[in-house]
Structure 1
Amino acid sequence: MTRVLFPAVLAAAALCPAPGAADWPVFRGDPLMTGTGTAKLPDALEERWTFKAKDAVEAAPAVVGDTVYLASLDKHLYAVELATGKEKWKVKLGAMKAAPAVRGDRVFVGNLDGKFFCLNATDGSKVWEFETAGEIMSGANFHGSNVLVGSHDSTLYCLNANGKKVWDVKTDGPVNGSPAVIGDVTFVAGCDSVLHILDAKTGKELGSVDLGGQAAATAAIADNVAYVGTMANTLVAVDVKKKEKLWSFEAPVRQQPFYASAAAGELIVAGSRDKKLYGLDPKTGKKVWEFATKGQVDASPVVVGGKVYGGCLSDDGEFYVLDLKTGKKVQELALDAAVCGSPAVGPDCLIVGTDKGVVYCLGKK
């Protein structure tokens, strides 16, 4: 699909060179947090390799070049070879649920103690550290040479390349999701039930939209519309130019929260704690299909090449491949445990972690 960007996106791109087309450098793959990839994945996924951490891997990995970056609750950030899963280095930073983000030769990640780190991507050595007053669940994103990250101290921070604060914006509750960035505008939704639209250069609020419920999910943006799930059992679409709500979707029966972040493309694909994945019409919010999973869906699904990929919190670790247009199951894999981690997309594979700390590379052997 064509994505209409604010004109200032070109200036931002000049300041921050784009990653390779096959890279997945931030939580949902791109600055707009769409959760969509352009890789060519095999018709049937196979286990290429596994990597074992000592505790759960709930964060989406980052994939850049020949390296996968993995954050774990075992207090370590790992760098492993994309081709083999062999460990390159690891560094102890504290328990982490936030997705690592990569720009150039730097890796950025926050921990549950509220510390945000900038590391050398080559060896994991610390470049700088910034401390917030709450746990960090938010993955980082970038604007020009600055880095954006949210904290449970009810603040979205903008830091410069040296780790010094450029600006911060207070919200009326913890910031769970990663900030989306389009041109010189950034968006953040949190526990104050509001989507904040901010000037990424200054932090000045350009507008806000009431979501009708607290948000644990990251907003995905496509064609100037933000799609964000709420704890009030709804998925909401917001026109970010007009700064108004377009529609709100709620399951017809047994409504549950949307903790997983949506994938935004031809359809809006969202997972819910009602044990279902949904495909929604992006213009109307009408349900196109639904697929019943064997467990709650907290891990954010991704869309690649006309297929949906996502897991659930069942003990058997079901991981599903669905047809994007119809929602019909194409393949089902049994991983070792509940799939609590959101997938990342490599050049020809997916990387996803489980509750037992096993990270799977799924592609063609």
Structure 2
Amino acid sequence: MKSFFIHLLFIMIPFLLGAQMTNGISSGDMELDQIRMEVKQVPTTRDTFTLRAIKMKLWSVALQQQGVPLADYVEVDNRLNQIVRWNNEQHQGVAQTFTDDEMSRACRVVDDGYAVLETYQNVASSETASRAFSSGLNPIDPATQPEIPWTAYKGNENLSGFTGANGPAKGERAWTFPVGLAWESKPAIEGDRVYLSSPGVRTILYCVDLHTGQKIWDTKQVIDIMGDQLYHAPNNQSSPVVLKDQILFRELGARGNLGPSKHIVHVDKKTGIMNHKIVAGHVDYRAGHAPFAANEEITVFSHGVQDIHLVPPVTQAFNRMVGTDTKTGELLWTFYTGYTFAEPLLDELSRVYVGTQDGYLFSWPGNRKYGHLPAPQWEFRAGGAIHRKPVVYQNHLLFGANDGLIYCLDRMTGEKRWAYDTKKTEQGAFRHFSTPYAADGRVFIGSADKKVYCLEIVSGRLLFEFEADDWVRSAPVVHGNSCYFATLKGSLYGLDFDGAGVQQRVKKQLGDHAVLADLAMKDDLLVINDSDLWSYCVNTKGELV
């Protein structure tokens, strides 16, 4: 069967692996290959400098990751760094303006860089030459190597620890372990289109056909050229929000509020072109995810000042919620929540719900202009941290907390309807439960005790529990009387349930990496993002579409 795989690579996407360029060997990146041909024909100018420089730097990184030594290119990169700033942090975030002489010299450097990298591309494409490795060192014998105390980061308080090891001696693979990226971005499906976030320096959002995986458009960014722009470039690790005419995502990156990564971006749904940006405060890339929610009326996001490069540094976790007008960015309100690591929920009435580290769940109408909101309309305190977004079903609000309980509240008053105790919590889990999924009077929720629970919403009665092969961090989805969920082992499960019990019908290994992102479903098709940055589309039989 035809496979639907979309790989959201950080650096580049191999659209044409093995394909040959008209005038050389393909890099696997269509945009780069086109620029390579243009550089050979037309020297770089002020108009073409920025994009060519970005692609040159990305090309060098891709070659380096293929094992190509880049000694000659380093000299070129150093020449460019003598012309461009390292970053704009010391200039209050204002972009550099190049004189004609500076730009002329920078353009020549870019042309020289492409010429050098062309030779390296030939090395990379020769299959074996790029991986050549020689060393006169002998590997360490673990049996005779004395134990070295390593009691702090980098060995000691002076960060000068040294193990005495020679390092890699053979250049051979010793072992592999699927680490991946802590990828929590959920696919968004509307009609026959799927919207996928990408943490790329160049490409940050994809729109693909649900049934074929064919790319309809992608969203590309052009960033200021600096010495560290691969570090400071905004990237997208949020779950896209689909509105009538726009797709929204929230930037994440480096360099604090003086850097470029501090916006909620509006993308034209038809073309993939970025329309405008609304300032939402910087989210440092170490946070791993940039939570927000939006509808046509208001946008709600977590906020904490994250300016680690200031002197002294300011490093706050998210500790407040902010509401703005979706179209204009006008500030409507702010509310101090205490530390919060959960995505906010914005319901169809524009009410806001958010959980906190201290176990509070707060709610208030979000579509009013409060300024500083002194108190929520109601609050409820659970017995443990609430680190996942709740879900609304009719007049019920459902969520799990780190005390091992699944709660149901009246969503308008916060009054507790019931709480179900799972009797077991995983102490090593920062988030014990997934976000719930509610349908047809039932709520489904995954947990770090490797189980999925199904309860009757009105009564809180347990209908079934099912143990899987690992933690269930992503929210399940339901189709009829079948429930689908994925685990940290990368396994997809399909369960059939009725009044008599539950039966496993599907178990499919999607990949080697964990699934952290919530699943998305349309009709009988599921779209699943894993932490290796692959997006899978499978049917309810577990077959790749």
Tell me the residue number matched to 1:351.
527
Asked if 1:127 corresponds to 2:276, the answer is yes
CA–CA separation in structure 1 for the residues paired with 2:196 and 2:353:
25
Asked if 1:109 corresponds to 2:249, the answer is yes
CA–CA separation in structure 1 for the residues paired with 2:209 and 2:436:
28
C-alpha contact 1:137 1:176 (8 A) present in aligned 2? no
Equivalent position to 1:78, from 203, 206, 215: 206
Tell me the residue number matched to 1:162.
328
Asked if 1:246 corresponds to 2:395, the answer is no
- Which structure's relative contact order is higher, taking Cα pairs within 8 Å and 6+ residues apart? 1
CA–CA separation in structure 1 for the residues paired with 2:534 and 2:422:
32
C-alpha contact 1:100 1:140 (8 A) present in aligned 2? no
Specify the SS of the correspondent of 1:215. coil
What is the CA distance between 1:347 and its match in structure 2?
4.2
Q: 1:248 to 1:91 in 2, by over 3 A?
A: farther
C-alpha contact 1:47 1:361 (8 A) present in aligned 2? no
Query: Which one-letter code corresponds to 2:297 in the other structure?
Result: S
Specify the SS of the correspondent of 2:4. strand
C-alpha contact 1:216 1:230 (8 A) present in aligned 2? yes
Aligned residue pairs, count = 317
Identity of aligned residues (%): 21
The structure whose residues are more often helix, as a share, is 2
C-alpha contact 2:470 2:487 (8 A) present in aligned 1? yes
State how 1:247-326 maps to structure 2 within 5 Å: 247-253=418-424, 255=426, 257-265=431-439, 266-314=441-489, 317-325=490-498, 326=501
CA–CA separation in structure 2 for the residues paired with 1:272 and 1:112:
27
State the TM-score, normalized to the length of structure 1: 0.79
CA–CA separation in structure 1 for the residues paired with 2:200 and 2:434:
22
Larger of the two Rg values belongs to structure: 2
Q: 1:111 to 1:229 in 2, by over 3 A?
A: farther
C-alpha contact 2:426 2:432 (8 A) present in aligned 1? no
C-alpha contact 1:47 1:362 (8 A) present in aligned 2? no
Tell me the residue number matched to 2:83.
none
CA–CA separation in structure 1 for the residues paired with 2:526 and 2:207:
16
Q: 1:274 to 1:73 in 2, by over 3 A?
A: farther
Q: 1:335 to 1:139 in 2, by over 3 A?
A: farther
Q: 1:300 to 1:184 in 2, by over 3 A?
A: closer
Specify the SS of the correspondent of 1:196. strand
Asked if 1:62 corresponds to 2:233, the answer is no
Q: Which whole-Å deviations, capped at 9, do the CAs of 1:292-337 have from their partners, x for residues lacking one?
A: 11111111111222211110001xx210111244332121111013
Equivalent position to 2:386, from 196, 206, 215: 215
Q: 1:97 to 1:259 in 2, by over 3 A?
A: farther
Q: Which runs of 5+ in 1 are unaligned?
A: 1-45
Q: Which whole-Å deviations, capped at 9, do the CAs of 1:199-239 have from their partners, x for residues lacking one?
A: 12226521111122221111111121111112232222111
Tell me the residue number matched to 2:346.
180
CA–CA separation in structure 2 for the residues paired with 1:217 and 1:196:
13
State the TM-score, normalized to the length of structure 2: 0.54
Moved more, 284-293 or 253-262: 253-262
C-alpha contact 1:108 1:140 (8 A) present in aligned 2? no
Tell me the residue number matched to 2:291.
138
Q: Which runs of 5+ in 2 are unaligned?
A: 11-180, 222-232, 254-261, 304-316
Moved more, 333-342 or 290-299: 333-342
